[in-house]
A and B are shown apart, each in its own frame.
Chain A
Amino acid sequence: AQKVTQAQTEISVVEKEDVTLDCVYETRDTTYYLFWYKQPPSGELVFLIRRNSFDEQNEISGRYSWNFQKSTSSFNFTITASQVVDSAVYFCALSEPYQNNNDMRFGAGTRLTVKP
């Protein structure tokens, strides 16, 4: 069963537009962790954020913000005033520490292209 769903395969925006990347997860645990990673063309997955299931506060870091809603099992990621350097594949991931030896389950990723 798919644990993490990123329904948007590809998104293309023009620079300075805001863009939201969706992530829906599935778990029966009350304790879990959610992550976002960025994978630029160089290939390395760059860690962006980790959020535990007991902290539903939204987070903002510069142009990045995250909206965690347990009621809809979603952990969406918004980039404000996008830039060309934001072009990358973005992965959402779920970790369930009491199951699966703490494996991270990744979504399929969303490829974001920001055009100048």
Chain B
Amino acid sequence: ETGVTQTPRHLVMGMTNKKSLKCEQHLGHNAMYWYKQSAKKPLELMFVYSLEERVENNSVPSRFSPECPNSSHLFLHLHTLQPEDSALYLCASSQDTRGGSTDTQYFGPGTRLTVL
């Protein structure tokens, strides 16, 4: 049983749609992450939340909007996406690791997004 769940697992949307991806972690962690995995590209970190505050945004277009209402839940709101945004979107969680230590990130199964 995975400690990080993501829904939906698959999503097809048009460019004018608005949808949201959901991530939930059951590991007692307080940092959560969104990654994008495109074909033939390394994993790209999109957003980092620690203690429910956004600590990093790697120049992600504004059509992606994250939300972290509490330490167990993370959302990625999508609107007016482009076909090149089609990818596997992975969520991960870890302990808060600022300050010179690193805890392991545990990943969810991902949401396979297709933008038509």
Contact = CB atoms under 8 A, between A and B. Distances in A.
Contacts of B107: 37, 44-47
B101 A97 contact: yes
Contacts of B112: 43
Contact of B48 (A42, A46, A101): A101
Interface centre among A44, A52, A103 (most CB of B within 10 A): A44
Interface in A10-51: 31, 33, 35, 37, 42-47, 50
Contacts of B45: 103-104
| Overall SS of chain A's interface | mixed
B64 interface: no
Interface residues of B, number: 25
Contact of A101 (B98, B104, B109): B98
Interface residues of A, number: 24
A102 interface: yes
Contacts of A42: 109
Given A35-B104, A101-B98, A43 B56 contact: no
Contact of B42 (A44, A95, A103, A108): A108
Contacts of A68: none
A37 B2 CA distance: 15
Interface string A94-116: 01011001111011110000000
B101 to A, nearest CB: 6
B59 interface: no
Interface string B1-24: 010000000000000000000000
Interface of A: 31, 33, 35, 37, 42-47, 50, 52, 91, 95, 97-98, 101-104, 106-109
Q: What 8 A-B pairs have minimum CB-CB distances, sorted nearest first? A: A45-B107, A44-B109, A43-B110, A106-B43, A33-B102, A102-B97, A95-B102, A97-B102
